[in-house]
Chain A
């Protein structure tokens, strides 16, 4: 019986058929590479949409006084910028990388659940279409901050239910994506690839996917309670009806803190692939990297209230959250030390992916330092809700997550397109980004320490100097990203890429041709052979 089915399949000759032509290839796609490409393009578009909002924010803040926008619209911009960058740019970019690379790295023919894969992508344009449409609604786009704290968020106009619905859709998309990642990794690895032999990018994504499944339903619950408070007369968060506004913050940050690691763990994975390649040396302490990432994931569930040191918690609670938060520095330190040890006595070259990864290690560490400072509760009372916090999370998200995504894009681009990208343009993009990102965000530390609160459209003149510097940097950073578009547009003009692409690369993804054919690994490969040849 089984043989008969297999024979029937062989007769249909599935191996050779290529993609359907036209829009149907993309709309109905179940191919992990096509879906990965769509995710990546979508996230790049969102990166520019969210970036345009950042330009509005920084233009208004360039000099004191109100020049361009009204305070309500300014608040909409900060809210939408955050929602779009978090859920529309950073997260889908990592899912795109996961879709493209996880099957190639573990020797699987595709993602385990290809039809669900199609859904989890196509929900996103709908979700963000809804979210962006709120800009045109009476009462304007949501302006209560991406954290959606009640009661303020309940003052949103007609946009409110659309905000909730789009957040629900984003959550559904993320959950489906992460189920797919977990099932693929657990079931479809090359037969001789044991868990601890998996590449770091696969490992960090496995952990990230579990985090997503754990916390996205929590966010969905929180926003649903907002919805019923607004429309169905419940009082989950309304003091007048016996509810508690602070409870929302606890629930939100129980989602929100793991969310932070959802956006950085895959970045750790990307960088852990790239640094060994260009150091021509194996990743130092592979297993301890796995344990460190798992520790970070566990700790991320028990530190949420460090976002809430000023809401008035009992002393013992605050002590617990301070100590737990400080502990995160230990596994994070292990990661950084291991990357440095990987470089140590290697034979390094500095192609664009390596440059972005090195900047990641430097600048993410600076974000980590300010994170450690923020963990100290009495000092956090001073830093909380100031530009110091803005500087901190932009350091871990922009030269952190975004640089890692850029590094990954440059690293795997030749495998995707079959051609080497323009290295000169890539390096220019790197240097412009790195210089401007620091001009933008470093002065914000000073602004926060000097007393400038975040989310304000105008400020006292003593903050003028650094705000202007920051705005100049932001415009420079925004323009620099157009260089990346230029790199992509010219990506197919370079010389043909070899299968291995990079001299020091190792792993299964480099054993398939460049560009990777539409179907790969229809028979499972031997992971051991792929690794041995580079040792």
Chain B
């Protein structure tokens, strides 16, 4: 209650500089696995809350009841086999309850077989390169121009006026809704990491290694993420944007890109 009122007070104070869509929790996301991940996260969270209520509850009762100023006399016990066996065994059972669904989700996360689309993402300091393997499309994806100008030290630009500050790119990844997209990740220089929270995918892009991961978006929309492995001075400036569109719109985008690339090539 108090925290809520403090937060809302702070919220009022900051209303001028901050956007209103701040979140407290992990997004539920737009894939089946992101929803499962969210479920695991919340399950463990509530277990922690339950354990916390018991442990902190006992401790707080003790702090108020068993104080010298209230005339408490210290007991002399310092051992109880029953209690110790109990509080070793019970956590083991709780951990098993958590481990089983977590392992099930892990198995699904690693299953990259039978993709509909394969995209090779190559990381550079500090941008991404995407290559659609079957469609023959490839392009670089860098921080969008308005952010580039606003991000400079003391640029004089009020960053709250920049739309999707630091989370927008010039050319987003476009994928169709409902398709299983396999991402093949590698790097040209140092280690980077590809993360889009709404897709619940984070995988490192490592030079000399090709990593695999996959997602299958269920909802049309624009989903934003960032590089999450320290990769040098502009680590904070290589966002990832994935646009999920209807399959027809995706086909139109593919055709337009191919057309554009062909025109570009012939003009060279």
The proximity string for B residues 61-92 relative to A, scoring 1 for CB distances below 8 Å and 0 otherwise, is: 01100111100111111111001100110011
CB distance from B98 to the nearest CB of A (A): 7
Determine whether A34 belongs to the interface, using a CB cutoff of 8 Å to chain B: no
Q: Please, how many angstroms separate the alpha-carbon atoms of A373 and B228 in the complex? A: 19
Q: Is the CB of A382 within 8 A of B66?
A: no
**Within the complex, what minimum Cβ distance (angstroms) separates B123 from chain A?**
12
How far does the alpha carbon of A149 sit from the alpha carbon of B191 in the complex, in Å?
Answer: 8
Q: Point out the residue from B84, B106, B151 that lies within 8 Å of A458, measured CB to CB.
A: B151
Task: Check if B72 sits within 8 Å of A348, measured CB to CB.
Answer: yes
Q: Is B203 a contact of A461 with CB atoms below 8 Å?
A: no
B95/A449 in contact, CB under 8 A: no
Query: For the complex, what is the distance from the CA of A445 to the CA of B171, rounded to whole Å?
Result: 31
Contact between B189 and A151 (Cβ–Cβ < 8 Å)? yes
Q: Mask for A463-487, Cβ within 8 A of B = 1, else 0? A: 1111011000000000000000000
- Whether A312 lies near B74 (C-beta < 8 A) is no
Interface of B is mostly: mixed
Whether A322 contacts B103 by the Cβ 8 Å rule is yes
Please tell me if the beta carbons of A66 and B153 are within 8 angstroms of each other in the complex: yes
- The answer to whether B160 touches A337, judged by C-beta atoms less than 8 angstroms apart, is no
As a 0/1 sequence over residues 50 to 76 of chain A, the CB contacts with chain B under 8 angstroms (1 = contact) are 000000000000011111111110010
Asked whether B191 lies within 8 Å of A376 as measured between CB atoms, the reply is: no
Q: How far is the CB of B191 from chain A (nearest CB, A)?
A: 6
The yes or no answer to A302 lying at the interface (CB within 8 A) is: no
Closest beta carbon of chain A to B69's beta carbon, Å: 7
Q: Is B148 an interface residue (CB 8 A)?
A: no
Q: Which of B63, B166, B189, B212 contacts A348 (CB 8 A)?
A: B63
Question: Which of A116-124, A183-191, A278-286 touches B?
Answer: A278-286
Interface locus among A107-115, A203-211, A357-365, A511-519:
A357-365
| In-complex Cβ contact of A285 among B75, B84, B237 (8 A) | B84
B48 near A372 with CB under 8 A, answer: yes
Docked-complex contact A348 and B48, CB < 8 angstroms:
no
Of B21, B25, B226, B235, most buried by chain A (CB within 10 Å of CB) is: B235
Q: Which residue of A lies closest to B41 (CB)?
A: A379
When distances are taken between beta carbons in the complex, the residues of chain A under 8 Å from B21 are 462
Residue of chain A at shortest CB distance from B103: A319
On whether the beta carbons of B235 and A75 are closer than 8 Å, the reply is: yes
The docked-state distance in angstroms from the alpha carbon of A151 to that of B208 is 11
Residues of A within 8 Å of B, CB-based: how many? Answer: 97
Contacts of B197 in A (CB 8 A): 382, 451
Q: Does B22 contact A (CB under 8 A)?
A: yes
Q: A279 is contacted by which of B14, B74, B226 (Cβ under 8 Å)?
A: B74
Considering the complex, which residues of chain A in the window 140-166 have a beta carbon less than 8 Å from any beta carbon of chain B?
Answer: 143-145, 149, 151-152, 155
For residue A489, CB closer than 8 A to chain B, the reply is: no
Q: Is the CB of A361 within 8 A of B202?
A: no
CA of A341 to CA of B83 in the docked complex: distance in angstroms? Answer: 10
Closest to B111 in A: A315
Chain A residues with CB under 8 Å of B33's CB are 378
Q: Contact check, B41 vs A70: say whether CB atoms are below 8 A apart.
A: no
202-241 of chain B: CB within 8 A of chain A: 202-204, 206-209, 211-212, 225-237
Q: Given the complex, which residues of B lie within 8 Å of A69, measured CB to CB?
A: 153
Mark each residue of chain A from 311 to 322: 1 if its CB lies under 8 Å from any CB of chain B, else 0. Answer: 110010011001
Contact A382 B44 (CB under 8 A): no
Shortest CB distance B177–A (Å): 22
B207 touches A280 (CB 8 A): no
CB distance from A508 to the nearest CB of B (A): 19
**Docked complex Cα distance between A312 and B158 (Å):** 39
CB distance from B45 to the nearest CB of A (A): 7
Whether the pair B19, A462 counts as a contact (CB closer than 8 A) is yes
Q: Please, what's the 1-or-0 string for B43-69, where 1 marks a CB less than 8 Å from any CB in chain A? A: 011001001100110110011001111
Residues of B within 8 A of A135 (CB): none
Most buried by B among A285, A365, A453: A453
Residues in B whose Cβ lies below 8 Å from that of A451:
23, 27, 197, 225-226
Q: In chain B, what residue has the closest Cβ to A68? A: B153
B67 → chain A, closest Cβ, in Å? 5
Are B102 and A385 in contact, with the CB atoms below 8 A? no
Known contacts A151-B189, A322-B103, A382-B41; A462/B209 CB under 8 A: no
State whether B191 touches A151 (Cβ < 8 A): yes
Query: Which chain B residue lies CB-closest to A439?
Result: B6
Give bound CA distance, A71 to B51, whole Å.
41
Residues of chain A within 8 A of B59, CB atoms compared: 340, 343, 358, 361-362
Q: Is the CB of A75 within 8 A of B91?
A: no
Check if B195 sits within 8 Å of A453, measured CB to CB: yes
Chain B residues contacting A458 (CB-CB under 8 Å) are: 151, 166, 236-237
Q: How far is the CB of A77 from chain B (nearest CB, A)?
A: 13
Q: Which of A284, A285, A326, A451 has the most CB of B within 10 A?
A: A451
Distance A362 CA – B48 CA, assembled complex (angstroms): 13
A523 at the interface (CB under 8 A from B): no
Given contacts A284-B80, A466-B22, 13 further A-B contacts (CB under 8 A): A240-B207, A243-B208, A284-B77, A319-B106, A322-B99, A326-B95, A337-B87, A340-B59, A342-B78, A346-B75, A373-B44, A376-B98, A381-B201
On B, residues with C-beta under 8 Å from A are: 10-11, 14, 17-19, 21-27, 33, 36-37, 40-41, 44-45, 48, 51-52, 55-56, 58-59, 62-63, 66-69, 72-80, 83-84, 87-88, 91-92, 95, 98-99, 102-103, 105-107, 109-110, 150-155, 157-160, 164-167, 189-191, 193, 195, 197, 200-204, 206-209, 211-212, 225-237
Residues of A in contact with B (beta carbons under 8 Å apart): 63-72, 75, 143-145, 149, 151-152, 155, 239-240, 243-246, 279-286, 288, 310-312, 315, 318-319, 322-323, 326-327, 329-330, 333-334, 336-337, 340-350, 358, 361-362, 365-366, 369, 372-373, 376-379, 381-382, 384-386, 446, 449-451, 453-466, 468-469
